[in-house]
Amino acid sequence: MKSSRTEFLKTFGGFAILTKQVAVEMMRPPLYPRLVIDQMYQVGLQSLPLVFVTAGATGMVMALQFGLGLEKFGGKLYIPKIVSLSIVREMAPVFCSLMLAARVGAGITSEIGSMTVTQQIDAIRALGTSPIKKIVIPRVLACVIAIPLLTTAANFVGILGGLLVGKNDLGLDPVFYVQKVLQTVTIADFLSGFAKTPVFAFVIAINACYFGLTAKGGTQGVGNATTKSVVTSSITILVGDYFLSKFFWIFEQWL
């Protein structure tokens, strides 16, 4: 019990220290824009198919389930409204972040973890350069830039998924669907989902880098680190989502 508590405190302290180092080193030259762009490609473009499938499937399932449920009460016409709002406010940001915590987080941790156990991270330091600058900052920036963009794309794809099911299975007019969506979703709705994503992105990247840099003991250590990274990011996203939703909810009331 005591050891798991110290483990938790150590990990949490590790995140804090890494975050501080990232903040400090971001202020000092040299920065490596090329590395950020490389990572944006890895994190962003390469994740597009996954994000599209996730968002599309979510939108389709929601339209179908709500359609079946609401049809009995003649509430089919509310489907565009319900689907678009839940996609934009909640489903797209959270589901995409969870999927990316798995895909991107695991990728980053296993890559950095392998570098750590084969002394490549030590070599970066020994050659007079900083692993924070060379490895961590490009990944953090790439995630914080790419994941919100991916989520925005996911919003469209999710709503489109709902439209497909609405038209084919529920007999809704696509033009009506689009009009309803446009009437319903406000900038505030969009922002309340969108604004969560840089936070989730940061959590994914810092977690993934931390567990990679602290990997020990060969290939098995890298595997363990990867598991921890994905689990920690996913839980933080799910729990953090509640608090962020609450925060934005209060904020919207106040506006």
Using CB under 8 A, which of the segments 76-84, 118-126, 156-164, 208-216 binds another protein?
118-126
Q: Please say which residue, 25 or 189, places its beta carbon nearer to another protein.
A: 25
Compute the distance between CA of residue 16 and CA of residue 25 in angstroms, rounded to an integer: 14
Compute the distance between CA of residue 101 and CA of residue 107 in angstroms, rounded to an integer: 9
Tokens of 130: 């900083």
| Site for another protein contains 49 (CB under 8 A) | no
Quick check: 204 and 43 in contact, CB under 8 A?
no
Using CB under 8 A, which of the segments 41-49, 57-65, 111-119, 171-179 binds another protein?
111-119
Using CB under 8 A, which of the segments 58-66, 112-120, 164-172, 213-221 binds another protein?
112-120
Q: Please say which residue, 34 or 72, places its beta carbon nearer to another protein.
A: 34
Compute the distance between CA of residue 201 and CA of residue 38 in angstroms, rounded to an integer: 17
Quick check: 163 and 178 in contact, CB under 8 A?
yes
| Site for another protein contains 125 (CB under 8 A) | yes
Q: Among 123, 182, 235, 238, which residue sits at the site for another protein (rule: CB under 8 A)?
A: 123
| Site for another protein contains 7 (CB under 8 A) | no
| Site for another protein contains 65 (CB under 8 A) | no
Tokens of 120: 């490549």
- Is the sign of the CA dihedral 133, 103, 206, 212 positive or negative? negative
Q: Please say which residue, 107 or 193, places its beta carbon nearer to another protein.
A: 107
DSSP count for the chain of H helices, then E strands = 13, 0
Which residue intervals of 169-254 are DSSP H helices? 174-184, 187-194, 196-213, 218-254
| Site for another protein contains 129 (CB under 8 A) | yes
| Site for another protein contains 46 (CB under 8 A) | no
Q: Please say which residue, 35 or 50, places its beta carbon nearer to another protein.
A: 35
- Chain centre distance of CA 190: 16
Using CB under 8 A, which of the segments 114-122, 143-151, 222-230, 235-243 binds another protein?
114-122
The residue ranges that bind another protein (CB under 8 A) are: 114-115, 118-120, 122-123, 125-130
